[in-house]
Copies of this chain bind each other. A is one copy, B any other.
Amino acid sequence: MVELTLEPIRPADVLTRVHSTSAGAEVLFVGTAREFTGGRRTALLHYECYEKMAIVRLQELEAEARQRWNLIGCEIVHRFGTLQPGEASVAIAVSSPHRQEAFQAAQWLIDTLKEVVPIWKQEQWSDGSSQWVHPGMPPT
């Protein structure tokens, strides 16, 4: 299952959804908004998404992960809107009979999500300035 939400993510609930007595391993990844980046303090983070496309891409990521690895549960929840430092921006939980598959799938899911899912982060610094994060692109 995949979900985009404006509400705070509860990682423990995401983990619970992949629980199964057929699984031997559960891996949960939680991405959180860091307070400091290279010495600058983040006051808030804003996530924007192209919701229709982001949902489709997330569903495709889940489907591809299930093809590549023997997963029992696979949950991806991404938050958008405004986050406080320390809040979870994304939670990915997978369960599998064996741990290697669960680790590989979780890591592939977050790596690929960051590349292909149309979601954008804007840092709102404590000095009042703000900046879209666009990896590889020169600052504007």
Contact = CB atoms under 8 A, between A and B. Distances in A.
B28 A99 contact: no
Nearest to A103: B107
Contacts of A99: 29, 31, 107, 110
A99 B36 CA distance: 16
Interface stretch (A11-19, A63-71, A74-82, A126-134): A11-19
Contacts of A23: 32, 34
Interface string A93-120: 0000101001100110010000000000
Interface string A3-45: 0000000011001000111111111111111111000000000
A53 to B, nearest CB: 24
Number of copies: 2
Contact of A26 (B26, B29, B102): B29
A11 B95 CA distance: 14
B103 A21 contact: no
Contact of A106 (B15, B22, B31, B103): B103
B30 A25 contact: yes
A4 B75 CA distance: 29
Contacts of A107: 99, 103
A99 B31 CA distance: 8
